[in-house]
Amino acid sequence: MSITLRLAWRNLWRQPRRTWLTAGAMVFSNVLLIFLIALQLGTYQAMIDNTLSAFSGHLQVQQAGYKEKQRIRQVVPRIRDVAEDLRSGLGLNSIAARGEAFTLASSESRTYGVLIIGVEPEFEPRASRIPSLVSEGRFLDNPDAPEIVVGDILALNLKAQIGDELTILGSARDGSFAAAVVNIVGIFDSGVDELDRSLAQMPLEFFQETFAMEGAGHAVVINAPSLFEVEAVAEKAKSLLPGGQNLVVHDWNDLQPGLRQAIQADLIGSWFMYGILVILVMFSVLNTQLMSVLERTREFGIVMSLGLSSGRLGRLVLLETVLIGLIGLTLGVALGGIATSWFEAHGFTYPGMEEMASQFNIPDRFYPDLNAISLFAGPTVVFVGSVLAAMYPMARLHWLQPVQAMRSA
Amino acid sequence: MTATAGIVFRLAWRNLWRNYRRTAIVLAAIVAGIWAMIFMIAFTRGMIESMVSDGIRSIPGHVQIHHPDFRNDPTVDNLMPSPGGELAAALGGEDVVAWSSRVRVPAVISSERGSRGVTLLGIDPVAEVPISFVADDIVEGRHLENERDRGLILGRRLLERIETDVGKRVVVMTQGTDNEVVDRGFRVVGVFESEIASTEEAFAFAGRAALQDLLAIGDQVSEIAVLGKNRREAEQLHRRLAETANAEVEVLPWYELNSYLGTTMRTMDGFVIVWIVVIFLALSFGFVNTLVMAVFERVREIGLMMALGMKPRTILAQIIAESLLLLAIGLAVGNILAWATIHLLSDGIDFSFVGEGLEIMGAASVLKPSLGIKDVLLSTAIVLGLGFVASLSPAIRASRYHPVAAITKE
């Protein structure tokens, strides 16, 4: 153990209360930062997963301009071949072709505007969660049967049940009148009100027949194995698209622009709060270290006149700060990690959580996500901030005149 | 007593500036903490305030009256007669600023280029002015002239989606009584824009009488929107109307019509207190540290004062006075700075780069901080209260010194 380190350690315990109070400020901030950052990561992950996996997927292949205008004639031609090529080219099964049309759907007693999605019964269950969220009846299984599954709010609004017939009215791709009578075989409950209220799915081939699509569709949904691989998959998908048809690949940020921005808006507020916490810790460290330097003015004057350089003394003060910082870091990470992992296992909720949850597509309980980033990001910033705060007391040592210092009271 | 209080206060003031560096640093920390505390509260309040007032304008109204089944099944089958008799008299009450009866049905609007499902509202444009957003937000064409107007008002985004324009005709299809699909051509006469973009796609407006004609429902209506003096009085207004109305209608206040808004409002009050306490705790370490040091340095002096006859209680009061004085200065400066910041930002902060994200939360993209006197008083009370508690331990310690032991201490 070097002499500077030993001196620094002893100096800390000349005023144990002060040292503990300073380290306490760090521990408090660290525990809070670990918990809040873990909570944010967990919530964002849930928001993204739930919103994307319910319906829109990570990526969609569409005709350029379809996303904005959503006109029925902006198509992806021979869409099932395109989807098949993408499946074999990307080596992924989580890819499905879709057709989309706005229609008027009438049950025996009610009529509502409905967005009808033509889906591939074989592949849709791997591309979105709606097929697995059928709460009554079954999902589609025949590619060209006149069958439909509808959202639970829509079913309620239509006063329709499994086995009932729905009449679909709309316009076909060529502008002609499109009409069909379909059987309700399933009702899904996705938990996203907007989808449950306005969405219905029917088999793609039957959809193509009804809307005179001539083999075309509107979107191929692609799900990457994880969020981190979306970009690579998108690049590869682009190279696999047939040329000359004006097709584009949209990523989830294009498809759900609100999602990323909601996260960013939330981050702005959080950064402000975290910044303030770190600044308050820095003030606390500055105060402690300045006091500890000032009360030792005489002592420092003596050792300097004995030949110790001000640089060496500066290192001593720095080391003292680093030691307090390490106490704060270790205890903060330990306590924060324990507290957060308890909540990670059990989750927590607060009154009113249900309304919030349905607005942001997250489950009714919060589950913080404790990982290397959430565990160390906050405490590291607090540590660095504390060391920076000690710069001013250190700098004062450079201006110290040994003789004057020895004479000071 | 007052003389002692005067001396205690003067001593506290002088003691603070004996070690001006230390006091200045703690003060800076307190000021920064209080500034952030007040600013953040004002900012969040401003955001929630705009969410709620936009929300109330799109509900619209503080209280609404419906057929009891309407909210589950919002169709022409669940209508109620136009308000008459006692209900009409109650709606004429002093606490009602405006009310409007509306027809609200799901409909499909088609141009030759495309079609979309919307919520079609038949309104009385004159009565509607103070209540909902439409009238102020017409950016092109004109507003409906009266309830018989056969024109249609669409949102900007819907207009673009179905590629139509002011002056052109569109077909409105909806369900009439007996599940007959009824349709009629309407001319688009005006376009509205909204800060919440999805509103532009979700709603279309027509004259109430024109829509009643199309649906063949006589003078029945779907909902009555009532605007009270302000949203805090919605509860009394709701109670009064609910007592008057008969059992065939359902009367609900805004916080139940949109439970997300109601919850957000309630959660907000909890957030304010949590934030104040968190900031105070973060401050308290440095603050207590300073007090401990200040007592520690003056052990001899405190012993001397006791030897000269100062009572332990006065010593206790002395230390607490110093701590509260420190906090009071920090609170004053912090509040003034926060107020100045809010004043500088009174035009609002433009967050349109994350506008679509704020829309999910139901907030507009320009956020204006709003400082409430209640929050300032609450934060001051909490900070002084907790500050008092935090200073007790060093103060009690100081008051228990033995004079002789303290004086002889090196």
pLDDT in tens, B226-249: 998 888 888 888 888 888 877 788
First-residue to last-residue Cα distance in chain B: 33
Is A69 at the interface with chain B, CB within 8 A?
A: yes
Residue B1 pLDDT level (bands cut at 50, 70, 90): low
CA-nearest residue of chain B to A108? B179
The yes-or-no verdict on residue A1 having pLDDT over 70 is no
Provide the residue count of chain A.
Answer: 409
In B, which residues are within 8 Å of A17 by CB distance? Answer: 289, 292
The yes-or-no verdict on residue B101 having pLDDT over 70 is yes
CA-nearest residue of chain A to B76? A110
Q: Do residues A183 and A163 touch, judged by C-beta distance below 8 A?
A: yes
- Number of helices and strands (H, E) in chain B? 15, 12
A276, A353, A366: best mutation site toward chain B, by most B Cβ within 10 Å? A276
Supply A140's token pair.
Answer: 């589609």
Residue B332 Cα, gap to closest chain A Cα (Å): 18
Residue A160 Cα, gap to closest chain B Cα (Å): 12
Backbone dihedral region of A63: left (phi > 0), alpha (psi from -120 to 50 degrees) or beta?
beta
B263/A356 Cβ within 8 A:
yes
Residue B73 Cα, gap to closest chain A Cα (Å): 6
Is B221 at the interface with chain A, CB within 8 A?
A: no
pLDDT in tens, B7-52: 888 888 888 888 888 889 899 999 999 999 999 999 888 888 888 8
In B, which residues are within 8 Å of A260 by CB distance? Answer: 357
Report chain B's mean pLDDT, rounded to a whole number: 87
Is A363 at the interface with chain B, CB within 8 A?
A: no
A268/B356 Cβ within 8 A:
no
Half-sphere exposure of A371 (CA within 13 A, CB side): 7
The model carries a pTM of 0.83
Supply A103's token pair.
Answer: 């229609």
In B, which residues are within 8 Å of A157 by CB distance? Answer: 73-75, 106
Closest CB to A110 among B75, B270, B283: B75
In B, which residues are within 8 Å of A378 by CB distance? Answer: none
A25/B282 Cβ within 8 A:
yes
Q: What percent of chain B has pLDDT over 70?
A: 99
Question: Which are the contacts of A38, defined by CB distance < 8 A and separation ≥ 6?
Answer: A340, A344, A368, A369, A370, A371, A374, A375
DSSP 8-state assignment for residue B158: H
In our burial notation (b when 16+ CB lie closer than 10 A, e otherwise), range A210-246 reads bbebeebbbbbbbbbeeeeebeebbebbeeebeeeee
The yes-or-no verdict on residue A63 having pLDDT over 90 is yes
d(CA A151, CA A25): 52
A71/B113 Cβ within 8 A:
yes
B21, B38, B354, B365: best mutation site toward chain A, by most A Cβ within 10 Å? B354
A171/B360 Cβ within 8 A:
no
d(CA A346, CA B342): 40
Half-sphere exposure of A137 (CA within 13 A, CB side): 23
B18, B285, B366: best mutation site toward chain A, by most A Cβ within 10 Å? B285
Sign of torsion over alpha carbons B195, B196, B199, B201: positive
pLDDT in tens, A157-200: 898 999 999 999 888 998 888 999 999 999 998 877 788 988 99
B114/A70 Cβ within 8 A:
yes
CA-nearest residue of chain B to A71? B114
Is B232 at the interface with chain A, CB within 8 A?
A: no
* pLDDT at residue number B326: 92
Q: How many CB pairs under 8 A join A and B?
A: 186
* pLDDT at residue number B2: 67
The yes-or-no verdict on residue A46 having pLDDT over 80 is yes
* pLDDT at residue number B188: 94
Q: Do residues A203 and A121 touch, judged by C-beta distance below 8 A?
A: yes
Supply the ipTM of this predicted assembly: 0.81
pLDDT average, residue stretch B54-64: 86
Is A171 at the interface with chain B, CB within 8 A?
A: yes
Closest CB to A258 among B75, B106, B357: B357
Element (DSSP H or E) covering residue A114? strand A111-119
Supply B272's token pair.
Answer: 């304010």
Supply B21's token pair.
Answer: 């560096």
B266/A264 Cβ within 8 A:
no
pLDDT in tens, B328-343: 999 999 999 999 999 9
Residue A8 Cα, gap to closest chain B Cα (Å): 20
In B, which residues are within 8 Å of A70 by CB distance? Answer: 114, 161
Question: Which are the contacts of A210, defined by CB distance < 8 A and separation ≥ 6?
Answer: A168, A172, A178, A179, A180, A202
Closest CB to A69 among B161, B283, B361: B161
Q: Do residues A162 and A139 touch, judged by C-beta distance below 8 A?
A: no
Distance of CA A54 to the CA centre of its chain: 15
Q: Do residues B369 and B345 touch, judged by C-beta distance below 8 A?
A: yes
Is A88 at the interface with chain B, CB within 8 A?
A: no
Q: Do residues B186 and B152 touch, judged by C-beta distance below 8 A?
A: yes
* pLDDT at residue number A72: 87
In A, which residues are within 8 Å of B356 by CB distance? Answer: 257-258, 261-262
In B, which residues are within 8 Å of A33 by CB distance? Answer: none
Is B337 at the interface with chain A, CB within 8 A?
A: no
Report chain A's mean pLDDT, rounded to a whole number: 89
B289, B292, B410: best mutation site toward chain A, by most A Cβ within 10 Å? B289
Is A273 at the interface with chain B, CB within 8 A?
A: yes
CA-nearest residue of chain A to B294? A291
* pLDDT at residue number A211: 94
Is B391 at the interface with chain A, CB within 8 A?
A: no
B41, B76, B108, B410: best mutation site toward chain A, by most A Cβ within 10 Å? B108
Residue A18 Cα, gap to closest chain B Cα (Å): 6
* pLDDT at residue number B15: 86
B25/A102 Cβ within 8 A:
no
Full DSSP string of B79-145: -BPPP-HHHHHHHTSTTEEEEEEEEEEEEEEE-SS-EEEEEEEEE-HHHHTTTSSGGGGEEEE----
* pLDDT at residue number A249: 95
Is B290 at the interface with chain A, CB within 8 A?
A: yes
Q: CA Rg, chain A, in Å? A: 32
The yes-or-no verdict on residue A130 having pLDDT over 80 is yes
In A, which residues are within 8 Å of B78 by CB distance? Answer: none
Q: Do residues B279 and B380 touch, judged by C-beta distance below 8 A?
A: no
Neighbours of B313 (CB within 10 A): 10
Neighbours of B92 (CB within 10 A): 9
Question: Which are the contacts of B274, defined by CB distance < 8 A and separation ≥ 6?
Answer: none
pLDDT in tens, A115-124: 999 999 999 9
Closest CB to B356 among A29, A114, A257: A257
Is B85 at the interface with chain A, CB within 8 A?
A: no
The yes-or-no verdict on residue B404 having pLDDT over 90 is no
d(CA A351, CA A216): 48
d(CA A86, CA A76): 13
d(CA A312, CA A318): 10
The yes-or-no verdict on residue B135 having pLDDT over 80 is no
DSSP 8-state assignment for residue A76: B
Residue B258 pLDDT level (bands cut at 50, 70, 90): confident
Residue A409 pLDDT level (bands cut at 50, 70, 90): low
Distance of CA A12 to the CA centre of its chain: 42
Supply B178's token pair.
Answer: 């007996």
Supply B44's token pair.
Answer: 């969040």
Is B279 at the interface with chain A, CB within 8 A?
A: yes
Q: Do residues A355 and A255 touch, judged by C-beta distance below 8 A?
A: no
d(CA B325, CA B336): 17
d(CA B294, CA B19): 9
Cβ-defined contacts of A301-309 (< 8 Å, 24+): A301/A400, A301/A401, A301/A402, A301/A403, A301/A404, A301/A405, A301/A406, A301/A407, A301/A408, A302/A402, A302/A406, A304/A400, A304/A402, A304/A405, A305/A402, A305/A403, A305/A406
In A, which residues are within 8 Å of B108 by CB distance? Answer: 102, 104, 113
Is B71 at the interface with chain A, CB within 8 A?
A: no
Is B50 at the interface with chain A, CB within 8 A?
A: no
Q: Do residues A211 and A101 touch, judged by C-beta distance below 8 A?
A: yes
Is A349 at the interface with chain B, CB within 8 A?
A: no
